[in-house]
Amino acid sequence: MNPIIGITSSINVINYETENQSVIMSPLNYLSAVNSSGGVGIIIPEGDNIEEIFGILDGIIIAGGRDISPELYDQGIHEHTLDIKNSQDEWELALINEAIKRDLPILCICRGHQLLCIARGGSLHQHLPETEGFEKHGESNGKWSEHRVILEPNSLIASILGNEVIVNSGHHQGISDPGDLTVVGKSEDGLIEAFELESQTFLISTQWHPEMILQDSIFQCLIDSARS
């Protein structure tokens, strides 16, 4: 049987069939990347029973999405920190902590990368355009950019992608303090772009979106780890 990989989602109120519907949303790229790599992706709605979820999962993706409440890392809210949803933050933190406890294969992406950092005692820069040294990092005028990331040669992610990789960049926040995570990738301006956690059999965390630039090898390794 192919491994079952949970993918986190967002609940948003939009006009869908009728006005002001609460809709579960997840970009198709995540599901496509999992399914094309030999897994079976399932979308996890916020608020499901954690014990029941982990009873069926072989791996999990903590996906990208909205900004995270800075109260979780003891900061006030910056004027550019927007679209916070506390219940989603707490729910996904619980998923991360349970997955680590169970040594379940984990892939954290963008928001997930930042949330993992917070779960492990770290903190964020809330707005890179106003953070010294990172003013030109990330999106500009609503458009994503590309940049190089240097990966640690002996890391798991480097064994998958090589020691250098060109990635996409569409975030306005970034890692300030990595907590107890192992930093295995940085951009040329020094921003932390990839984490691993030594205690875990498979945990990869990226600030970029591998599902959008066809880095299928990351998803294949997630599936292989989940299968084993």
Q: What is the identity of the amino acid at 78?
A: H
Q: Which residue has the higher pLDDT, 146 or 103?
A: 103
Q: What percent of the chain has pLDDT over 90?
A: 74
The range of the structural domain enclosing residue 167 comes to 4-227
pLDDT digit string (tens) for 191-221? 999 999 999 999 999 999 999 988 999 999 9
* Total domains, the chain: 1
Predicted structure pTM score: 0.94
| Catalytic annotation, residues | 110, 209, 211
pLDDT of 182 > 60? The answer is: yes
Please state, rounded to an integer, the average pLDDT across all residues of the chain: 92
Query: What burial class does residue 182 get, using C-beta atoms within 10 Å of its C-beta: 0-12 exposed, 13-18 middle, 19+ buried?
Result: middle
The predicted pLDDT at position 80 comes to 86
Angle, helix 28-36 to helix 216-227, in steps of 10 degrees = 60
pLDDT of 143 > 80? The answer is: no
pLDDT of 135 > 60? The answer is: no
CATH number of the domain that 17 lies in? 3.40.50.880
pLDDT digit string (tens) for 29-71? 999 999 999 999 999 999 878 999 999 999 999 999 999 999 9
pLDDT digit string (tens) for 81-92? 888 999 999 999
Q: Which residue has the higher pLDDT, 12 or 122?
A: 122
Residues 6 or more apart whose Cβ sits within 8 Å of residue 82? 66, 67
Q: What are the b/e assignments for 79-105, b being 16+ CB within 10 Å?
A: eebeeebeebbebbbebbebbbeeebb
The predicted pLDDT at position 113 comes to 98
